[in-house]
Amino acid sequence: MPIQRRHLLKTLAATALAAPLAAPAIAQTAPQITWRLSSSFPANLDLLYGGATSFAQYVKEASDGRFQIQIYAPDEIVPALSNLDAVQAGKVDACHTTLAYFWGKDPTFAIPTGLPFGMNARMTNAWFYEGGGNDLVNEFLAPYSAFALPVGNTGAQMGGWFVNPIHSLAEMKGLRIRCGGLTGSLLERLGAKPDNSPMADIRGHLANHELDGVEFVSPYDDEKLDLAKVAGHYYYPGWWQPSSAQHIVMNLAKWQGLPKAYQAMVQNAAAQANLAVQARYDARNPAALRRIVTQGTKLHDFPADITDAAYKAALEIYKNASASNPKFKKMLDAYMTFRDDQYLWWQVCEYTYDNFLIRQRAKESG
């Protein structure tokens, strides 16, 4: 072996001996990780489902492909409504859902998603990030071995599709309305009959008059239901969902075990997804609404006595739940105190400005 080559080998060997000290340091801060994330939303609801795919993409890009999050549709690993159990058991690393889906376990789950007569979407974000909301949500989720971050919002939703127009509270009596969770309790107090039929059956049920109405999301998603011909009366606003937030819910130990840089990437990516999903709904809803109306669907606002009665019913539900559930009371009180403060300020600039512009545009268009 020529002397030069031997020297080179020695040097390389010394480098190699040093390497085991350095390499793990890099490996620790930027390990290759693959997570499984189960979605509670069907892929054809592309904006909701897309909150998770965008989130995963942002994390993948920021980590240079080292942190991969694989998205599974409902039932690929677990059913949509078993996602929280699966996260808690570590069967999946994370899920993408609206926390309200789990209100049957505890009504407190409904609050972070958005409450009837609660805050609008921007206020909800102020509460999450700067009003202690995210901390309260995660304190509540800790016993479920879960840690959640907001990753999207639909904004205020529509009030749903009805076979016949509704002229007063009296006409709500007996109406069979497909709706979810807390909204069912609310509509029940107005005399309606909440229904849980699978979404796939809705159109048929409305056509056969087995159902009188259905509440879903907002124009962009609702358009896909193709309900114009079977339920041509479209009501607004969905006071039961003035904000509907989605969350990434991670197994707490998995979250805590992430390198700090990956935790930062997850937080940044979740924030970007939160902005992106809201922006996608906002950007697409106007054209969808225009198409819906052009096809002959009639737009109505709810009669005042219905909204007033719903408001009273919501207060009763909150009072009852607060009396029997200290966790609900704690989160509700924080949420409602923040809401009242937000509307105090909102009515001064945001609302007054929106009001002027909406009136001005109405004048201009005739």
Q: Which of 238, 306, 321, 335 binds a copy of itself (CB under 8 A)?
A: 238
127, 338 in Cβ contact below 8 A? yes
- 191 DSSP 8-state letter: T
Q: Which of 7, 287, 295, 319 binds a copy of itself (CB under 8 A)?
A: 287
210 φ, ψ to 5°? Answer: -85, -15
Rule CB under 8 A: which of 77-106 touch a copy of itself? none
Write 283-286 long-range contacts (CB < 8 A, 24+).
284/47, 284/220, 285/155, 285/218, 285/219, 285/220, 286/219
Q: Which residues contact 45 (CB under 8 A, 6 or more apart)?
A: 217, 221, 224
In the complex with a copy of itself, the residue whose CB is nearer, 253 or 287, is: 287
- Site for a copy of itself contains 64 (CB under 8 A): yes
Binding-site size, a copy of itself (CB under 8 A): 88
Distance CA 65, CA 52 (A): 16
In the complex with a copy of itself, the residue whose CB is nearer, 88 or 307, is: 307
- Site for a copy of itself contains 62 (CB under 8 A): yes
Instruction: Give the other-Cβ count within 10 Å of 53's Cβ.
Output: 17
Q: Which of 56, 87, 100, 123 binds a copy of itself (CB under 8 A)?
A: 123
- Site for a copy of itself contains 21 (CB under 8 A): no
- Site for a copy of itself contains 126 (CB under 8 A): yes
Q: Which of 135, 226, 316, 354 binds a copy of itself (CB under 8 A)?
A: 354
Instruction: Give the other-Cβ count within 10 Å of 100's Cβ.
Output: 23
In the complex with a copy of itself, the residue whose CB is nearer, 44 or 360, is: 360
Q: How far is the CB of 227 from a copy of itself (least distance, A)?
A: 17
Q: Which of 2, 260, 294, 324 binds a copy of itself (CB under 8 A)?
A: 260
Strand partners, 233: 162, 298
Rule CB under 8 A: which of 203-222 touch a copy of itself? 218-219
215, 302 in Cβ contact below 8 A? no
- Site for a copy of itself contains 353 (CB under 8 A): yes
- Site for a copy of itself contains 305 (CB under 8 A): no
Q: Which of 89, 253, 299, 323 binds a copy of itself (CB under 8 A)?
A: 299
Q: Which residues contact 255 (CB under 8 A, 6 or more apart)?
A: 147, 263, 266
